[in-house]
């Protein structure tokens, strides 16, 4: 029997923040619930196929979306160093939201379909500095459930926040989000944070990653050490891989201890203290059960 083959395209995060963002949006004019904006884009570094289509879609905070505005193909856009587009949009500044979409043609059951290979989702782009200061702290590690073989795994790509993928159907995300099991939380986050730091130290593709900068800034604040003094003692092996020396491994363990085990909640209790209390309670319960 003939089988349909579905080509899966990896979705790349298009950046709109940081030192060298792929996308920049400037407000030109605001009048009577309408805005004029300029959108500047340069996505050469992502190496999309020239045939991929790039579209810009304004929408509002209630979900009403304008029709995507075609900017051109990647090949057309890459002929210029920067491409600037001017748009007039019937949405007021406070409600304005934007998407940038990069799509590639593929086949599904014999039909051609467009699949996303790159995306930027921009919310509250025009918020002022006072609004920014009131925002909730940005998470540097997102979690989601998926059908994976292991209990958990780390999913990382340059220019996007690291993802902690949890096995679907095991209720792990609920336990982590609601601090139900501090033992599980300690073990999982110790492993994940250690792998994130190792990746940022050894993988050159993350050299200009905005989330590497944010992670290192957070680590620097927590351990009171300037980023320029972070270790970089990497030994290149003959096979092309990188090995971290023992001093750097010890430094990573100290960072993980500060970032995970010694992380305090609003009551001043650290995660490792919760770990010990939880374990001791279970031991006492088992001993009590053995007495009867």
Structure tokens at 43: 């996505």
Are 149 and 256 part of one and the same domain? yes
pLDDT at site 289: 45
Are 153 and 274 part of one and the same domain? yes
Residue 100 — very low, low, confident or very high, per pLDDT cuts 50/70/90? very high
Are 72 and 149 part of one and the same domain? no
Are 42 and 111 part of one and the same domain? yes
> Is 147 inside a domain boundary?
yes
pLDDT in tens, 135-166: 333 578 888 888 899 999 999 998 889 999 99
Question: What backbone torsions phi and psi does residue 51 show, to the nearest 5 degrees?
Answer: -80, -10
pLDDT in tens, 225-236: 899 889 876 665
CATH number of the domain residue 106 falls in: 2.60.40
For residue 6, give the nearest of 86, 85, 108, 96 by alpha carbon: 108
Residue 73 — very low, low, confident or very high, per pLDDT cuts 50/70/90? very high
Are 260 and 146 part of one and the same domain? yes
Q: Hunting for tokens 């590639």 — which residue is that?
A: 104
Are 22 and 150 part of one and the same domain? no
pLDDT at site 6: 43
**Which of 99, 126, 153 finishes a domain?**
126
For residue 182, give the nearest of 280, 274, 277 by alpha carbon: 274
119 touches 100 (CB < 8 A): yes
pTM value? Answer: 0.50
Domain count, the chain: 2
168 touches 188 (CB < 8 A): no
58 touches 86 (CB < 8 A): no
pLDDT in tens, 108-143: 666 667 788 899 888 766 654 334 433 333 578 888
Name 218's Cβ contacts closer than 8 Å, sequence gap at least 6.
Answer: 140
Ramachandran bin of 262, using left for φ above 0, alpha for ψ from -120 to 50, beta for the remaining angles: alpha
Give 104's Cβ-side CA count (13 Å radius).
Answer: 18
User: How many angstroms separate the first and last alpha carbons of the chain?
Assistant: 62
Structure tokens at 64: 């009403």
Are 256 and 208 part of one and the same domain? yes
pLDDT in tens, 21-47: 899 998 898 887 789 999 999 999 999
Are 115 and 190 part of one and the same domain? no
Whether the pLDDT of residue 93 is over 70: the answer is yes
> Is 132 inside a domain boundary?
no
Distance CA 79, CA 23 (A): 16
Burial (CB count <10 Å: 0-12, 13-18, 19+), residue 198: middle
For residues 73-78, give the mean pLDDT: 95
Are 150 and 45 part of one and the same domain? no
Q: Which domain holds residue 189?
A: 142-280
For residues 84-92, give the mean pLDDT: 91
Among the residue ranges 155-159, 179-183, 269-273, the one predicted with the least confidence is 269-273
> Is 159 inside a domain boundary?
yes
Are 225 and 168 part of one and the same domain? yes
3-state DSSP of the chain: CCCCCCCCCCCEECCCCCCCCCEEEEEEEEECCEEEEEEEECCHHHCCCCCCEEEEEEEECCCCECCCEEEEEHHHHCCCCCEEEEEEECCCHHHEEEEEEEEEEEEECCEEEEEEEEEEEECCCCCCHHHHHCCCCCCCCEEEEECCCCCEEEECCCCCCCEEEEECCCCHHHHHHCCCCHHHHHHHHHHHHHHHHHHHHHCHHHCCCHHHHHHHHHHHHHHCCCHHHCCCCEEECCCCCEEECHHHHHHHHHHHHHHHHCCECCCCCEHHHHHHHHHHHHHHHHHHHHCC
Share above pLDDT 70 across residues of the chain, in percent, rounded to a whole number? 74
**Which of 64, 91, 126 finishes a domain?**
126
Residue 85 — very low, low, confident or very high, per pLDDT cuts 50/70/90? very high
């Amino acid at each position: 029997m003939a089988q349909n083959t579905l080509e899966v395209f990896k979705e790349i995060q298009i950046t709109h923040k940081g030192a060298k963002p792929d996308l920049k949006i400037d407000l030109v004019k605001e009048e009577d619930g309408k805005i004029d904006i300029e959108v500047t884009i340069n996505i050469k570094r992502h190496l999309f196929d020239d045939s991929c289509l790039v579209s810009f879609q304004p929408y509002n905070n209630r979900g009403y979306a304008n029709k995507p505005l075609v900017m051109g193909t990647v090949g057309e856009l890459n002929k210029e160093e920067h491409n600037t587009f001017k748009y007039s949009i019937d949405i007021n500044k406070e409600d304005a939201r934007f998407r940038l979409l990069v799509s590639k043609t593929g086949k599904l059951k014999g039909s051609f379909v467009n699949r996303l290979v790159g995306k930027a989702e921009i919310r509250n782009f025009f918020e002022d500095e006072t609004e920014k200061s009131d925002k909730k702290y940005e998470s540097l590690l997102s979690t989601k459930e998926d059908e994976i073989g292991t209990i958990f795994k780390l999913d990382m790509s340059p220019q996007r926040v690291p993802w902690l993928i949890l096995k679907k159907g095991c209720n792990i995300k609920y336990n982590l989000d609601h601090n139900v099991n501090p033992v599980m939380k300690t073990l999982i986050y110790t492993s994940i944070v250690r792998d994130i730091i190792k990746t940022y130290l050894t993988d050159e593709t993350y050299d200009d990653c905005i989330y590497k900068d944010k992670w290192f800034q957070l680590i620097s604040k927590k351990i009171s050490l300037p980023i320029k003094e972070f270790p970089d003692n990497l030994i290149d092996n003959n096979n092309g891989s990188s090995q971290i020396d023992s001093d750097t491994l010890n430094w990573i363990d100290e960072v993980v201890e500060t970032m995970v085990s010694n992380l305090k909640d609003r009551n001043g209790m650290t995660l490792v203290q919760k770990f010990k209390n939880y374990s001791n309670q279970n031991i006492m319960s088992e001993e009590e059960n053995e007495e009867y």
